[in-house]
Amino acid sequence: MDFLNAIILLFNFTVIPALAYGSQLALGAIFVTLIYAVLRFANFATGDMMSFGTMFAVILTYYFQSLGIGLGVLPTALLTIPFAILMMILYMLIIDKFVFSYYRVKKSPPVQFAMVSVGVMFVTQAIIRIIIGPSDRRFLDGEKFIIKATEFKEMTGLAEGITLKSTQAITITVTLIVVSIMFWFLNRTKTGTSMRAYSDNEDLALLSGIDPKRVVLITWVIAGILATIGGVLYGLDKSYRPFVYFNNMLPIFAAAIVGGIGNPYGAFFGGYVIAFAEILLTYSYKKFVAYLLPSSLEPNSLMQLLSTDYKFVVSFSILVIVLLIRPSGIFKGKTI
């Protein structure tokens, strides 16, 4: 019984949150990696682009709520995602037309692209703050919990309960659906294949009649979908705050590189690696150990490897270690 309690405890406080957080990171990391593979630059505006899409979802959620439109038990934000995606894609295409395309035609070095994306980051941040302001916003409505700890305890008679927030369940399901559709698209459709060809060898792809403009357009469309969904899911799970989204860019980059930048499977996997590492290394194992050991050996300390303040440090250290040992990432990077 104690063993079961220990497992449930660990599951509740580490596995479920890590799966949800990892899904959010994974969506962002695939976004980074796609841009890197097809358009060939590290996009420093990642976090702010996700924030931009989420902003529309937040505004539309408030609008729909005022109209009385909702999804019942599900959050209204899910209804607004398609509209937010449209706005996001539109914004990305405008940015691409006026900013990135010039450097793409000129075949500028990646560093120049990175600096340009910093400029885009500044502008996007300004637009977001001017439209919605820098404050913290919650836009979750509908049912909050799927399983409550107390109900679970009553049902099973265990001392530890499992809490499953609806946002966590939604995050994991939506991520799985989106990512599988995307992988199917990349691997099974003709457009997806042409994107992979373009990423592998641009000149050869052009030679075989692939339209580069179309590839770039499709990449931004997929990127817009991923960015918006990732951002909205994160905002639903925690809350929407522009500054936090900018900071999220860092673990997202870490996830993309750890998985092998340019490789969507790697990015997907990397998101979970980062999330699990962050949560497992900063979790206090005191109660867990107490269940497993006889009561005479109960530990006094918190049994915590690192304090929770160092959540971000964990993911960045993993990145540094990966860069040192295997710079191409866990999966071999730089092709999709």
Instruction: Kindly write out the interface string for residues 51-70 of this chain, putting x where it contacts other proteins by CB under 8 A and - elsewhere.
Output: --------------------
What is the distance between the terminal CA atoms of the chain, rounded to a whole angstrom?
47
Total residues contacting other proteins by CB under 8 A comes to: 48
Determine if 120 is a binding residue for other proteins (CB under 8 A).
Answer: yes
Nearest to 45 by CA among 231, 213, 312: 231
Q: Helix (H) and strand (E) counts for the chain?
A: 15, 2
Question: Interacting stretch for other proteins, rule CB under 8 A, among 107-115, 152-160, 217-225, 266-274?
Answer: 107-115
Question: Interacting stretch for other proteins, rule CB under 8 A, among 67-75, 106-114, 191-199, 205-213?
Answer: 106-114
DSSP per position, 275-334:
HHHHHHHHSB-HHHHHHHS-GGG--SS--BSS-GGGHHHHHHHHHHHHHHH-TTTTTT-S
Determine if 140 is a binding residue for other proteins (CB under 8 A).
Answer: no
Determine if 119 is a binding residue for other proteins (CB under 8 A).
Answer: yes
CA-CA distances (angstroms) from residue 336 to 194, 216, 254?
A: 11, 14, 18
Structure token pair of residue 191: 């457009």
> How many alpha carbons fall within 13 Å on the CB side of residue 39?
31
The smaller minimum CB distance to other proteins, of residues 193 and 335, is found at 335
E strands, 128-262, are 145-147, 164-165
Neighbours of 163 (CB within 10 A): 17
Question: Interacting stretch for other proteins, rule CB under 8 A, among 54-62, 208-216, 263-271, 320-328?
Answer: 320-328
Determine if 99 is a binding residue for other proteins (CB under 8 A).
Answer: yes
Determine if 316 is a binding residue for other proteins (CB under 8 A).
Answer: yes
Q: Which of 134, 176, 299, 332 binds other proteins (CB under 8 A)?
A: 134
CA-CA distances (angstroms) from residue 166 to 100, 172, 173, 233, 271?
A: 39, 10, 11, 11, 21
Instruction: Kindly write out the interface string for residues 237-266 of this chain, putting x where it contacts other proteins by CB under 8 A and - elsewhere.
Output: ---------x---x--xx--x---x-----
Determine if 307 is a binding residue for other proteins (CB under 8 A).
Answer: yes
Determine if 105 is a binding residue for other proteins (CB under 8 A).
Answer: no
The smaller minimum CB distance to other proteins, of residues 66 and 209, is found at 66
Positions that interact with other proteins (CB under 8 A): 41-42, 99, 102, 109-116, 118-127, 129-130, 133-134, 246, 250, 253-254, 257, 261, 301, 305-307, 309-310, 312-313, 316-317, 319-320, 323-325, 327
